[in-house]
Amino acid sequence: MYKKTKRIQSKKFQLHEFYLRQEDKHKYFFPNGKLSTEVTRITKKGTYGKYCYEIKFEQKEYYKNGKLKSKEVNLCDCYKVKKYQYDERGKRISFEFTKNRWIRRKMD
């Protein structure tokens, strides 16, 4: 596991607005030494150290022979979820894409 933090200026081109982008990667291995699961989480940290929100979450699972088994990508800015499934040879079997939207409610 390692963490990488960058200081990035906001995309809205506001002069004095900076935030920290933190990237956490976790890797888990099988007893034979091959990669089992890889998790990447990118979060935006505010100026006072609080986590504002999660930008991206990606999880990959592997077979014991080292081929990719499944992949899930959550793009939290756009409310998109992409799910991929692979067979033991590494060919893609299925792909699922969902887009979630916030439901607007009227304020009384």
Q: What's the structural domain count of the chain?
A: 1
Range of the domain at 94: 2-9+18-99
Helical (H) or strand (E) element with 70: strand 68-75
Tell me if 87 is assigned to some domain: yes
Predicted confidence at residue 74, as pLDDT, reads 87
Alpha carbon distance, N-terminus to C-terminus of the chain:
47
- Of 3, 58, 66, 59, give the one whose Cα is nearest residue 36: 66
- pLDDT tens digits, 23-79: 888 889 999 889 999 998 888 776 665 566 777 889 999 999 989 999 999 887 667
108 domain-assigned = no
**Choice between 69 and 103, residue whose per-residue pLDDT is larger:** 69
Residue range 12-18: mean pLDDT, rounded: 56
What mean pLDDT is predicted for residues 85-89?
93
DSSP state of 14: -
CA 14 to chain centre: 26
